[in-house]
Each structure stands twice: as C-alpha cells, then as structure tokens.
Amino acid sequence: MASKMTELPTQEQCYALTEEQCRRIQDIRDPDGTRNYKNWEAQHQTELIRLYMTMLSFPHIEQQMRTKLDWS
C-alpha cells in the first residue's frame, strides 16, 4: 500500500510563520550552526525562511529580497 504524501504548506501558511517558528526551522535545517553566511543580513533571516518554505526558486527569492538588502 502506498503511503500518503504529506501536503506542502500553502503560501499563506508560510507567510504566517512566527519569528520563533522560523528560528526553529532554521535550527532544524542547520542543527550544528555550521552553514555558511548564517549571520548574513541577520535581520532578514526569518523572512528568508518564510520565502524558502514557499518553495520559490532562489532567483525569485533574490528578486523579492533585493530591495531589503544593504548594498553599501
């Protein structure tokens, strides 16, 4: 018997994630805290997690975040 696939979260559910939920997802994805650039644009990490969870492509995430990055 085939197993039932888990449904992916909707875009609305991803955007509704709390700051704490985003941090927990980040901890699950990187339990040892060894990923590169973990402190890059720290104030936007939770928003990046929300966008990542929507399964957007990295170019689309970059496009959405472009206005929030400090280019100086």
For residue 3, which phi and psi values (nearest 5 degrees)? -80, 150
Q: Is residue 54 part of a domain?
A: yes
In a domain, 57, yes or no: yes
Q: Is residue 33 part of a domain?
A: no
Q: How many domains does the chain have?
A: 1
Helix (H, G, I), strand (E, B) or coil at 64: helix
Is residue 60 included in any domain, yes or no?
yes
Q: Which domain holds residue 48?
A: 43-72
Say if pTM beats, i.e. exceeds, 0.85. no
Examine the pLDDT at 13 and tell me if it is beyond 90.
Answer: yes
pLDDT of residue 4: 59
15 in a domain, yes or no? Answer: no
Token representation of residue 70: 């400090």
For the stretch 16-72, pLDDT in tens is 999 999 989 988 888 888 877 777 677 788 888 899 889 889 899 889 888 877 664
